[in-house]
Amino acid sequence: MLKNRIIPCLDVKNGRVVKGINFVDLKDAGDPVEQAKIYSDGGADEICFLDITASNENRDTIYDVVKRTSKKCFVPLTVGGGIRSIEDINKLLNCGADKVSINTAAVKNSKVVLDSSKKFGSQCIVVAIDAKKKGDKWEVFTHGGRNNSGIDALEYAKKMEENGAGELLVTSMDRDGTQIGYDVELMNKIASKVNIPLIASGGVGNLDHLVDGIKLGNASAVLAASIFHYGKHSVKEAKEYLDSKGIPVRI
């Protein structure tokens, strides 16, 4: 039976982890490679890096991080943030990323998704959708949630599937950072609309939220950042909890 996945996400800025696990025995708590290794040793089904480096001159730092991580972690590694072109994707994959997640660039020009999935295969193209509720609809936001594209999130999700996306990473901008749980209504609406797997993101504050993301949101995988930081919960605890709620996980 296929298992639901738990994906811890690390925000990386200028090659350093912004938040993270604050374990005393870490040699370098800011090193994304060490943190990723802790997650994968703890049973993370995949690892996700979100590069939030703002300045262009420091953008190359992520390549070094990916290169070093992929030599130590042998679970799938997804990298997102600031990906603009086929060339950016190519570079990340060559450094050892298994998938890339494309956000703003896909909204600006959906051909990026079409071309990259043809060139590299759908299996490595994740389209990240940042959505915000407006009335009874959701709209797609870009640039880390700053700009409203006005595009309907459900239609956009369908279009990205048709363009060759292998998975959708859906983040509710209303919930992101709130720790009050995923927008399961949004997740469920998109998951029912498309045939590709959905990764739920944004708003996790406790382990029950992960359960809701899968049971109510119909997500194939759940992504979370802060609940795994500072040792609040380990990936192992999360999996055991999901297992106790009858959700199939890899233990």
* Residue closer to other proteins (CB basis): 45 or 174: 45
Beta strands 5-13 and 198-201 are: unpaired
CB of 52 to other proteins, least distance (A): 23
The verdict on whether 130 is a catalytic residue reads yes
Query: How many Cβ atoms from other residues are within 10 Å of residue 193's Cβ?
Result: 15
For the chain, the straight-line distance linking the first and the last C-alpha, in angstroms and rounded, comes to 13
The verdict on whether 64 is a catalytic residue reads no
CB of 91 to other proteins, least distance (A): 11
**Candidates 45, 51, 88, 130; catalytic one:** 130
Q: Cα–Cα distance between 45 and 240 in angstroms, integer? A: 14
* Residue closer to other proteins (CB basis): 167 or 176: 167
* Residue closer to other proteins (CB basis): 5 or 132: 5
**Candidates 11, 88, 174, 183; catalytic one:** 11
Computed over its alpha carbons, how large is the radius of gyration of the chain?
Answer: 17
CA proximity to 182, closest of 136, 241, 225, 144: 225
User: If you ran DSSP here, which 8-state letter would residue 124 be given?
Assistant: G
DSSP string, 34-63: HHHHHHHHTT-S-EEEEE---SGGGTTHHH
Binding site for other proteins (CB under 8 A): 1-5, 40, 45, 70-71, 74-76, 93-98, 120-124, 166-167, 195-197, 220-221, 250
CB of 55 to other proteins, least distance (A): 27
CB of 106 to other proteins, least distance (A): 18
* Residue closer to other proteins (CB basis): 113 or 173: 113
Positions annotated as catalytic residues are 11, 130
